[in-house]
Structure 1
Amino acid sequence: MPDLFDVVELTVDISERGLRAGMQGTIVERHPDDAYEVEFANERGETVDFLALYPNQFIVVWRAR
């Protein structure tokens, strides 16, 4: 199960938000409905997007623990 601060990689495009499969983000919150709030940042560390995703939309590529 994904956890807070894990790094995840999108497995699907979310074109309406400009996010592509392969982009990486960090889990910053877990919702009661099994969704995870994920923050995507650019190379300068500035937030590019912040949205709720479900586990079928990403894979964990680095575990915080």
Structure 2
Amino acid sequence: MKWNDSTKWSGRKLILEIYLNHEIDIHMIGVRIIQCHLELLRTVNTGERLNKIWLNPLKHPSKDS
């Protein structure tokens, strides 16, 4: 199995488990993934910035410093 296939399956499985357990809104997962992806494209110091977004999903990325 390719690394990509394995990763895609892991992601689908995780989302399915979360959906079935109703632990979090699927829409919020999408929003946070998009926020993180945009932040990856925008900043050099990705680790710290991404952690801030994941830990504070409702806080706008440009407002934290």
* Same fold at TM > 0.5: no
Tell me the TM-score range normalised by the shorter chain. under 0.3
Greater percentage in helix: 2
Q: TM-score, normalised by structure 1?
A: 0.21
Q: Which has the higher contact order (CA 8 A, sep 6+)?
A: 1
